[in-house]
Amino acid sequence: MNVKQMFIFGAIALAMLAFVFGPYIKNIGPGLKTNNNKEVTTNDGRPDPNIPEPQFRKDSELSFLAANKTDTLQQIDIEIVKDEEAVRQGLMYRKSMEENQGMLFIMPSMGPQSFWMKNTYIPLDILFINHNRQIVTIHKNTTPFSETGLPSTQNAQFIVEVNAGYCDKHGIKVGDFVKF
């Protein structure tokens, strides 16, 4: 076997090894790693800061109504997510959000719901809403990057995420309603 053939054979062998063992290689760069969800994180568990920030997409508007259902407390632009992958992504990797913006999650059915703040840079108020569109639970001023579950105290079908402090600033509380 001459040198040229050995070189070609070696290159093919390396390519085959990379193809076979590539998915098992954990370190993908200096100080970065990937997990089973294909999320790229730094060694301290934070998301890779080089991941492009998703941009807000206005899908509709949402109004917060007082418990009497007639007084409008506030209105925001919302990005609506309902498919499973978009729900898992949520506001991950977003580094900012305007005060009059939020994300509305539409779950397939009413039931126990729980969210977390993994890979989420901005603190949030998370509102759980039942099928009647009444707010049943609010988690205020959530901790960025936390993997602690934030469950609803009652069954919910909708979840709204807004910037932390939004509910206190605008007098939004459990028992109020949303309209979208």
pLDDT digits 0-9 by tens, 14-28: 666 565 555 544 444
Nearest to 97 by CA among 58, 136, 150: 58
Number of domain units in the chain = 2
The answer to the question of residue 170 being in a domain is yes
Could you tell me the CATH number of the domain that includes residue 89?
2.60.120.1140
Could you read off the pLDDT of 74-125 as tens digits, one per residue?
A: 999 999 999 999 999 999 999 999 999 999 999 999 999 999 999 999 999 9
Could you read off the pLDDT of 135-151 as tens digits, one per residue?
A: 999 999 999 999 999 99
Based on the fold, state whether residues 36 and 64 are members of the same structural domain.
Answer: no
The percent of residues in the chain predicted with pLDDT above 90, rounded, is 67
Q: Which tokens in the block code for residue 42?
A: 């730094």
- Map residue 18 onto helix, strand or coil: helix
Based on the fold, state whether residues 66 and 118 are members of the same structural domain.
Answer: yes
Q: Which tokens in the block code for residue 102?
A: 């939020």
Backbone phi, then psi, for 166, in 5-degree steps?
-60, -45
Where do runs of H (alpha helix) occur along 42-165? 84-89
- State the residue range of the domain holding 153: 60-179
